[in-house]
């Protein structure tokens, strides 16, 4: 089975319950898409962050992730990012949200996004060097950083593959509704809930015994107040940089390149 589909088949059954779009992140993505009227959403999953005010075509390899899509969601094609079944420059914009790290060949998938895009390619991803400084990784599960460095291409690498543009920092709000792994930076008790962890690929790929041991340590630190002492600087923050980045790459159309 393809790597991306296999991972999401593992976590996908709880995904819709735990991974609800966060309004702040959603606004950032909509701004990044600009005035595009047609959008290809690559690695679309259950449909989070698909803009409702324009024409969207979704691509998703996992049948488990496709199944919970709403009846009025964008039409979906079951395919891989590395081999997208569309003609060149078919869409104003292409979008990939929290998905590139699951692709078997990220560079090939990103080149496919660029091939199909007339205006702007948008990738929502994470900078692991920043993410690894969050207390969950730093103090309890450094194995997550080791794993994610193998999975996540850096934002700079993504931007280079797409042909240049800009990288925008997207802070994670304290009340983030999208249950990705660092979302609960200010709500540490949430990590003790197996249902909350069910939609996090980082936990799904770790040894369950290791996770249990380290979260037992977190539970003790919370009970004794050690976590609050160690992370007192977070308690008054409304948002925090968990390493999430929007990569925005204007794409030059073939006709533009001929006249430049």
pLDDT tens-digit readout, 171-180: 999 999 999 9
pLDDT band at 9 (very low <50, low <70, confident <90, very high): very low
- In this predicted structure, what is the pLDDT of residue 17? 60
Q: Which is nearest to 11 in space by CA: 196, 244, 182?
A: 196
0.95 surpassed by pTM: no
> Are the C-beta atoms of residues 114 and 84 closer than 8 Å to each other?
no
Find the mean pLDDT for residues 166-187. 96
Examine residue 259 and state whether it is found in any structural domain, yes or no.
no
Question: Residue 25: how many CB atoms within 10 A of its CB?
Answer: 25
Question: Residue 104: how many CB atoms within 10 A of its CB?
Answer: 14
Cα atoms in the Cβ-side hemisphere of radius 13 Å centred on 34:
12
Examine residue 44 and state whether it is found in any structural domain, yes or no.
yes
- In this predicted structure, what is the pLDDT of residue 18? 64
Give me 188's structure tokens. 């540490």
202 or 33, greater pLDDT: 33
**In the predicted model, is pLDDT for residue 113 greater than 60?**
yes
Provide the domain count of the chain. Answer: 1
Give me 81's structure tokens. 């990012």
Q: Residue 68: which CATH number? A: 3.40.50.150
Q: Long-range contacts made by residues 229-238, C-beta under 8 angstroms, separation at least 24? A: 230/135, 230/139, 231/135, 231/188, 234/135, 234/185, 234/186, 235/186, 237/174, 237/186, 238/173, 238/174
Examine residue 167 and state whether it is found in any structural domain, yes or no.
yes
Give me 17's structure tokens. 């319950």
Examine residue 260 and state whether it is found in any structural domain, yes or no.
no
Q: Which is nearest to 8 in space by CA: 66, 76, 69?
A: 66
Examine residue 72 and state whether it is found in any structural domain, yes or no.
yes
Range of the domain at 55: 3-252
- Which residues face 91 on adjacent strands? 117
Average pLDDT, the chain: 90
**In the predicted model, is pLDDT for residue 8 greater than 50?**
no
Examine residue 257 and state whether it is found in any structural domain, yes or no.
no
**In the predicted model, is pLDDT for residue 253 greater than 90?**
no
pLDDT tens-digit readout, 133-164: 999 999 999 999 999 999 999 999 999 999 99
pLDDT tens-digit readout, 31-62: 999 999 999 999 999 898 999 999 999 999 99
Examine residue 258 and state whether it is found in any structural domain, yes or no.
no
Among the residue ranges 25-29, 66-70, 138-142, the one predicted with the least confidence is 66-70
Count of H-run helices and E-run strands, the chain: 14, 9
Examine residue 104 and state whether it is found in any structural domain, yes or no.
yes
Please provide the DSSP assignment of 136-202 as one string.
Answer: IIIII-HHHHHHHHHHPPPHHHHHHHHT--EEEE-PEETT--B--GGGGTT-GGGGG-HHHHTT-HH
**In the predicted model, is pLDDT for residue 2 greater than 80?**
no
CA 165 vs. chain centroid, Å, equals: 19
> Are the C-beta atoms of residues 173 and 244 closer than 8 Å to each other?
no
Find the mean pLDDT for residues 56-70. 92
């Amino acid at each position: 089975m393809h790597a991306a589909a296999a991972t999401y088949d593992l976590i996908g059954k709880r995904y819709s319950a735990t991974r609800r779009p966060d309004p702040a992140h959603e606004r950032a993505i909509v701004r990044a898409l600009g005035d595009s009227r047609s959008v290809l959403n690559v690695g679309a999953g259950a449909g989070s962050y698909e803009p409702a005010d324009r024409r969207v075509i979704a691509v998703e390899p996992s049948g488990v992730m496709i199944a919970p899509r709403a009846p009025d969601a964008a039409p979906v094609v079951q395919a891989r990012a590395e081999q997208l079944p569309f003609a060149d420059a078919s869409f104003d914009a292409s979008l990939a949200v929290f998905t590139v790290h699951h692709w078997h060949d990220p560079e090939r998938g990103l080149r496919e996004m660029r091939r199909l895009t007339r205006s702007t390619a948008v990738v929502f991803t994470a900078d692991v060097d920043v993410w690894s400084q969050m207390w969950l990784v730093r103090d309890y599960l450094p194995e997550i950083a080791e794993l994610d460095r193998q999975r996540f291409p850096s934002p700079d690498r993504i931007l280079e593959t797409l042909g240049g543009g800009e990288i925008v920092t997207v802070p994670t709000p304290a009340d983030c509704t999208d249950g990705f792994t660092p979302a609960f930076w200010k709500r540490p008790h949430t990590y003790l809930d197996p249902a909350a962890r069910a939609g996090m690929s980082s936990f799904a790929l770790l040894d369950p015994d290791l996770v249990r041991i380290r979260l037992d340590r977190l539970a003790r630190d919370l009970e004794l107040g050690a976590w609050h002492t160690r992370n007192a600087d977070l308690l008054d923050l409304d948002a925090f940089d968990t390493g999430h980045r929007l990569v925005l790459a204007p794409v030059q159309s073939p006709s533009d390149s001929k006249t430049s």
